[in-house]
Amino acid sequence: MDFDEIVVRTGRLDFPALTAGKGRDVVCWHGFPDHPMTFAPLAEHLVAAGRRVVLPFLRGFHPTTFDALTYSDGVTLAADAAAVGEALGGVDMIGHDIGAGMVYRVAAAWPELTNRGVTIAIPPPGAVARALLDPSQQQRLFYMFMFTVEGVAEAILRKDRALVDYLWATWSPSLTLDDAYRTWIHAMYGKDEYIESVLKVYRANFDSSRADPALAEYAKRTEGVAEKPLLVLGGAEDGCLDPRYFTEDGLAPGSKVEVLPGVGHFLHLERPEAVAKLVLEWFGQ
């Protein structure tokens, strides 16, 4: 399936995106170490069902926005998702990894700017808070802590994308990554400007000075229970987030949690047909 390149203009930033299909918009936000194009197999099913898919590049991960990460915390990125939702009007949202965190926050702080939301590969906020106290889960998230060490993190990420390949292999152990996807991913995370963006995003988890003070009120809202019901999808073989943390902690009534067998962190790429079926059923409710 071919994608067109568009720019979604918002009051916050102009977001470059890939798009295909016609119909009601489904906006899909990617994570790390990932690229919008890994949504392509899922997008094919959504387009076949009569939807238009919009795959934006996260702020800081495109040649036109790499210098736009003055603030890099999760609320800043969620505000971007909300702004894109407002600009397009009446969208459904899917978020994977970092993108999932964005959708959780939109559902809590800007519920009016999305119709239905789906998160992939990240447990609900209440469960994540518990997971971070679990030593076995801390071990899985070693890269997050390593990224806070200046100099070391940069050197490791610049070394032949070896860490990127390792994360893909351990997070989705049953997946054989197609060469085309690997090329896109290597091209993105082989550039210093995007490596810098990755580190800004992860360092914001431990450094409040990287949060936008203008969004402080919205940040408070994201600490509460989401007002919008969400569909939460996880993979039983996820090597990044322990599947037992995919519970309904901190979700609005009417939410649904599904853990798919035989897949890992990148389940939208591993089993796009199964994910599309669940997503389309959710959007139709």
Q: Please give the Cα distance from 136 to 133 (Å, whole number).
A: 9
Q: Please give the Cα distance from 136 to 240 (Å, whole number).
A: 11
**Domain hosting residue 98, numbered range:** 4-284
- Domain CATH number, residue 153: 3.40.50.1820
Query: Which pLDDT does position 223 carry in this prediction?
Result: 83
When pLDDT is cut at 50, 70 and 90, the band that residue 90 belongs to is: confident
213-255 tens-digit pLDDT = 999 999 999 887 788 999 999 999 999 999 999 998 889 999 9
260-278 tens-digit pLDDT = 999 999 999 999 999 999 9
Query: What percentage of the chain has pLDDT greater than the value 70?
Result: 100
The number of helix segments (H) and strand segments (E) in the chain equals 13, 8
| 93 residue type, one letter | M
* Residues with Cβ within 8 Å of residue 219, at least 6 apart in sequence: 73, 75, 109, 211
Buried b (16+ CB within 10 A) or exposed e, 231-254: bbbbbebbbbbbeebbbbbbbeee
Please give the tally of structural domains in the chain. 1
* Residues with Cβ within 8 Å of residue 50, at least 6 apart in sequence: 21, 22, 23, 24
- pLDDT over 90 at 123, yes or no: yes
Query: Which pLDDT does position 24 carry in this prediction?
Result: 97
32-50 tens-digit pLDDT = 999 999 999 999 999 999 9
